[in-house]
Structure 1
Amino acid sequence: MVTQAREGTFYGWRVVGGAFVLAVFGLGFGFYGPPVFLQAIREAKGWPLAVVSTAVTVHFLIGSIVTANLPILYRRFGIPTVTKTGALALAIGVFAWATAITPWQLFAATLLSGAGWVTMGVAAVNAIVSPWFVRDRPAALAMAYNGANVGGIIFSPLWATAIGLLGFPIAVAAISLIMILVMWALADLVFSRSPEQMGLAPDGAVAGEPPRSRLVTGRGPLPGSLLWRDPKFLTLSAGMALGLFAQIGMTAHLFSLLSPALGATQAGLAMGLVTVMAIAGRTLLGWAMPARADRRLMACASYEVQATGSISFIVAAGTNIPLLLCGVVLFGLGFGNGTFLPPLIAQTEFVGEDVQRVVALIVAISQAAYSFAPAIFGLIREFTPAAGGSAPSAAASFYVVAALIQGLAIFAFLAGRR
């Protein structure tokens, strides 16, 4: 086993590949699936939009509660068991979405789906990959997190097509079976090993050798409530939550805002461009980031790029196509970094035994916050014209609010610097 680090591919990169696939399914089911499920349920049941939309919000809120407790679950049951249990819960929950007869059954289904998908989400990917990397963690996490975007590319059209051809219950059953088989195989064959078991240290060093790199924070552990009083934790949580609130709110409405100028087909391609730019931006930053870079400044720069995109949308006034596309590119470049950079900031600012807990909590807080983003941004669009504007002014207000929230995220990250 030891020679593997010297003569072959470091096993940690296989873990990254497994985490990539995990994120494809986890986000494909739990994040990109609910918007498609919402429409399918409305068409099949005729339930009010408010009821089904609230169920989606509950799905995310339940997920945030489980995310906050993932470190405890991992310590008690291990990553393989939690992953397999989560995959089963997600599959059963989504199937219950498809077969719900009454609204209360739909809400009961969200308890399972919400709890299940986060065991294959952002915090889970960080917990799986981080033990294998210190120096190369930015590149490793960038590759693994790209699975989340690929999940959107694959599953958004897959769900729509499969439901249209097979019906909601059969489509869910078929795709869920594949997901369960893949997750169980990864859990048993890839995630069941640790660097200690293989005689390896992070980044492929041999156990017992001096580490190739070490990030020193100069701070001690923050057990219990001490963490909640720590300025770095509070500002990191606020920065991530604000940034993702703006991102999710914009993403939920961007297609409909672009459609009048670009047309439905081109607007769909523009949304795909957001995903492509997210992968490109995250990958480039992951591989090019200097080991000693100030990662909070990196996060600020990323949100400055997105805020510039929001300004481009404002100046476009809903009609200038080159400026709209410029806004799409700039928004997309920073999109992938909203979940990518905060765990890396935590790596440099907290001692090793606290990092997993910090990451789980900041992800949970952010998920709880962005659960309400689509509804709040929708209210901005709905009520701005009533205040004396037109449709373009409503879009301008939408983007102004997004830019302001992105500015607040920058302020939060800056506030936590030494």
Structure 2
Amino acid sequence: MQVAFQGWRAVTGAFVLAVFAWGIGFYGPGIYIATLAESRGWPVGLLSAAITWHFLVSAALVAQLPDWHRRLGIAAVTRLGLLASAAGLLTWGFCHVPALAFAAASLTGVGWALTSGAAINAMLSPWFDRQRPKALAMAYNGASVGGILMTPLWAWLIAGWGFGTATAIVAALLLAVVWPLAGGVLARSPAAYGQHADGLAAPPATAEPRPARDRRTLLRDPLFRGLSVAFAIGLFAQMGLVTHLVSLLLPALGVRGAGLAMAMVTVFALLGRTLTGWVLPDGPRRRWAACATFLVQMAGSLALACAGESALLLLLGCALFGLGVGNLLSLPPLIAQAEFPAAEVGRVVALLQAINQAFYALAPGAFGLFREVAGTEAALGVTLVLQALAAGLVLRR
């Protein structure tokens, strides 16, 4: 009896993983800072430094991910990431001295490295070739849903049971839901079912494979360096603005309005990523999609800079900026698929993520410092310049 194509089942599993990975490793850190600063009176600067450490640990490890997948298997590496995330959550929840925040950040940084973008790309790449844009868009939408679902869940759990119990509940949910998926769905390949990429009856014709280059050789490749610099600059600008966006919106929209505007950013990120996944062209034209993404974000940043007290312009800025948020996650692996040999794509994507995270880990502090020294308008001006620079650089092959 022929088994139905299992690739979309893998996409569903990757979507669920993304909900938890981003809810803990990307959206969670802001909650950890706010909760510990309010409940224990710890300095925000110290907690922010711990979150920067969280992203730097992840950046240092994620470049090794393809090697670990090859040696240990995707299931084992993913489960190691789940254990690290769970242990990190418990350390965040029950640490009683500020120094332990860095231990917690180290653990959640390991978990984030092993379960986020590069890991999801590695899980789905064997299943999809021509349909990879659509598959990755659907899986990465779990990141946006993680922000929509996990942030209010965190708030509800902390308000009802306290921060320590909340971290224990989320850690238990993570292990209960994703642990079986890691071995039962996410680690399976098409060969396990006698299937091929995209559900084709036979494997697609490919050119003679070239040996995969190592990381040092890739770092000397102008094609790789140009791509990594463009997205590192764009993500630096995005992360800096995202982390300060609520404070920019509060004077005009109030607490409730700012919260709704941030939800709008997340919803438009989901819409933008989904639309791009369905219409993304093949080959070099994918760089034009990336350029358009940076320009749309630039238009959103310009609307925010010019808005003043205008609620309409602020919401328009959030919508335009949000349209690009999801694409900056999904486009790098899709451009890598189009421009690098298949044997190198996993390593290229992991190395891109490592470089991007090392840059954007510094963005919140840099943006905040610039706001204090030169003012909010000047900080938004720098964001516009960075987005324009990224849009131009991504077109250079």
When normalised by structure 2's length, the TM-score is 0.96
2:237 is equivalent to residue 253 of structure 1 = no
349-358 vs 285-294, which moves further: 285-294
- CA RMSD after TM alignment: 1.7
1:339 is aligned to 329
Alignment partner, residue 32 of structure 1:
27
Q: Do the aligned partners of 2:62 and 2:118 also contact (CA within 8 Å) in 1?
A: yes
Contact 1:310 1:399 in 2 (8 A): yes
Equivalent residue runs for 1:197-216 within 5 Å: 197-206=192-201, 209-211=202-204
Tell me by how many angstroms 1:221 deviates: 4.1
Corresponding residue pairs, total: 397
| Deviation larger for 36-45 or 90-99 | 36-45
Shift of 1:234: 0.3
| Whole-angstrom CA distance in 1 between matches of 2:149 and 2:284 | 34
Unaligned runs of 5+ residues in structure 2 are none
Is residue 12 from structure 1 mapped to residue 7 from structure 2 by the alignment? yes
Q: Does 1:168 align with 2:168?
A: no
- Following superposition, the deviation at residue 290 of structure 1 comes to 2.8
Matched residue, 2:135:
140
What's the counterpart of residue 70 of structure 2? 75
Instruction: Work out whether 1:403 is the aligned partner of 2:384.
Output: yes
Could you tell me how far apart the structure 1 residues matched to 2:387 and 2:210 are? 29
Matched to 1:294, the amino acid is R
How many angstroms apart in 1 are the aligned matches of 2:136 and 2:320?
Answer: 22
2:300 matched to 1:319?
Answer: no
SS in 1 for 2:317: helix
The answer as to 2:54 corresponding to 1:64 is no
CA distance in 2, matches of 1:54, 1:278: 27
- Following superposition, the deviation at residue 217 of structure 1 comes to 11
Distance 2:48 2:133 in 1: 35
SS of equivalent to 2:192: coil
Which of 186, 192, 198 is the aligned partner of 2:181? 186
- Report the Cα offset of residue 73 of structure 1: 1.0
For 1:28 and 1:122, the matched residues in 2 are separated by: 13
* Structure 2 contact 284–338 (Cα < 8 Å) conserved: no
Give the CA deviation at 1:293. 6.0
Give 2:150's match in structure 1, choosing from 149, 155, 172: 155
CA drift of 1:367 comes to: 0.8
Measure, in 2, the Cα distance between the counterparts of 1:353 and 1:89: 29
Contact conserved, 1:86 with 1:117, CA < 8 A, in 2? yes
**C-alpha distance after superposition, 1:362-384 (max 9, x if no partner):** 01111111111111111121112
Determine the structure 2 residue equivalent to 1:381. 371
- 1:91 aligns to 2:86 (yes or no): yes
Match of 1:364 among 349, 354, 362: 354
Q: How does 1:240-319 map to 2 (within 5 A)?
A: 240-292=231-283, 294-316=285-307, 318-319=308-309
Q: Which runs of 5+ in 1 are unaligned?
A: 385-393
State the shift of 1:132 in Å.
0.5
Partner of 2:110: 115
For residues 87 and 224 of structure 1, do their structure 2 counterparts lie closer, same or farther at Cα, with a shift above 3 Å needed?
A: closer
Find out whether 1:329 has 2:324 as its counterpart: no
Matching residue of 1:391? none
Match of 1:47, SS? Answer: coil
Following the alignment from structure 1 to structure 2, what is the Cα–Cα distance between the partners of residues 79 and 219?
23
Matching residue's letter, 1:395: T
CA distance change for structure 1 residues 217 and 197 in 2, over 3 Å: closer, same or farther? closer
CA separation of 1:290/1:415 partners in 2, compared to 1, >3 Å: closer, same or farther?
A: closer
